[in-house]
Amino acid sequence: MDAFFASVELLRYPQLKGLPVVIGGGRRREDDVLARLREVYPERDWSDGDLSRIPLDFFPRLASYTGRGVITTATYAARQFGVGSAMGLMKAAKLCPQAILLPVDFDEVRRISRLFKSTILEIAPVMEDRGVDEVYIDFTHVPGGQREGGRVLARLIQKSIFQATGITCSIGVAPNKLIAKMASEFNKPNGISIVWPEDLQSKIWPLPCRKINGVGPKADEKLKSHGIHTIGELAQRDPVWLIETFGRSYGHWLHEVSWGRDDRPVVTESEPVSMSRETTFERDLHAVRDRAELGAVFTTLCEQVAADLQRKGYAGKTIGIKLRYDNFQSVTRDVTIDHFTAEATAIRRHAGLCLKRVDLSRRIRLLGVRVGSLLRADEAAALASSTQPAPVVPLMDQLF
């Protein structure tokens, strides 16, 4: 193996080990739980989230949940009941009513996430950010990165992350990102897996196709309908047939990944393409009957996107909205304007026009606002001053 890629996945809330706990729901009554716990048990250190000595009946049971949230993550004890990430909390309550429901502590997650990444960067500078709890690392040019197939370096990273955050992670090392990602799942929650090119048949081919990063529920269903369940079965299919069945690009890609081939580099820097804010209402709203409420939420979303853009230093020129109706069908509308903006009023104005182009007679469960075609704010400003004539001073301003 001449290149070594590692996929590192951080595992949250290890201190809840053994308890059936489900985390999720967000922004609801349960948000108060941690605050209440801090009040009731002020002597305890809540920064490490150690809940093991608190009476269980103190916590809200999942069975009493009535909202619309989904599970962010669940302990292994809760997963035994079939609950897991992205599952609706109402469904989870049926499967495991005794589970304890905790809100997500977003600030804490962000803090740990930053610590996790900065710790890795000190050891291995070629790192790709894949979200709050996941990164790819290129070990190839890290001194000692190839000793024992990468295991020595992986061990050092794992140990350093644990010292910095108190949280465990699993690491997969392989010749490319695709295999490294799959390898990182072999030895959860605190393992290291090395997969060599010659391990393809024994370790990768027996896996279900769904384990491939990029094969989701739809593609998996279609593969199954053709009798393809494992990656090995996929690898045996004629690439021409795959292209005919799944399209030129996706079909070719399926063939390549089934043979463990992936030459994507680890990307250390990237510019955002869009920024958005969206919200699902507690109950479905109607454009006419709930006009005031909808209007207020809409304005808030526009202000939030504008604030996000300004804080991060970007401006965009494609402004759009997203609606989800009560039947879960989504529609989007967007418009591209002739200049870059990060202003809430401008976003609100153009998004408002987009809103007029969709069916507003049906009940709405979600509303979102998006700004795309982003450019760094300084570049956008330079562009504006170089391409536009001197700004026209409005008549009223000239007069007064």
Mind telling me the catalytic residues? 134
Which of these ranges, 237-245, 254-262, 364-372, 377-385, lies near DNA under the rule CB under 7 A?
364-372
Say if strands 192-194 and 169-174 run parallel, antiparallel, or are unpaired.
parallel
**Does position 296 bind DNA by CB under 7 A?**
no
Cα-Cα-Cα-Cα dihedral sign, residues 214, 215, 219, 223 = positive
Region near DNA per CB under 7 A, out of 138-146, 152-160, 207-215, 388-396: 207-215
Q: Does 249 bind DNA (CB under 7 A)?
A: yes
Residue 272 makes contact with DNA by CB under 7 A: yes
Phi and psi torsions of 97, nearest 5°: -60, -25
Q: Is 336 in the site for DNA (CB under 7 A)?
A: yes
Strand order in the sheet with 192-194: 127-129, 134-138, 5-10, 169-174, 192-194
Q: Which of residues 28-67 bind DNA (CB under 7 A)?
A: none
> Judged by CB under 7 A, does residue 268 bind DNA?
no
Contact segment (CB under 7 A) with DNA among 144-152, 287-295, 366-374, 380-388 equals 366-374
Question: Taking CB under 7 A as the rule, which mask of x and - marks residues 128-147 in contact with DNA?
Answer: --xxxxx-------------
Of 52-60, 166-174, 186-194, 360-368, the window that binds DNA (rule: CB under 7 A) is 360-368
Edge-to-edge, what's the strand order for the sheet holding 100-102?
71-74, 21-24, 100-102
The residue (of 22 and 37) whose beta carbon lies closer to DNA is 22
User: Which of 327, 361, 386, 398 lies at the binding interface for DNA (CB under 7 A)?
Assistant: 327
Name which of 144 and 247 has its Cβ closer to DNA.
Answer: 247
Site string for DNA, 80-99 (x = CB under 7 A): -----xx-xxxx--x-----
Cα-based distances in Å from 120 to 6, 142, 164, 181, 327:
11, 12, 10, 17, 44
Under 8 Å between Cβ of 184 and 170: yes
> At 85, is the secondary structure helix, strand, or coil?
coil
Helix (H, G, I), strand (E, B) or coil at 113: helix
Q: Which residues pair with 192 in a beta bridge?
A: 171
Paired sense of beta strands 127-129 and 100-102, if any: unpaired
According to the binding rule CB under 7 A, does residue 176 interact with DNA?
A: no
- Enter the tokens of residue 358: 């969709």
331 binds DNA (CB under 7 A): yes
Rounded to 10°, the helix 151-165/106-123 angle is 140
In this chain, which of 288, 328, 387, 389 binds DNA, going by CB under 7 A?
328
Q: Which residue ranges make up the site for DNA (CB under 7 A)?
A: 26, 68-70, 72, 85-86, 88-91, 94, 130-134, 181, 212-220, 247-250, 270, 272-280, 308, 318, 320, 327-336, 354, 357, 365-366, 368, 373
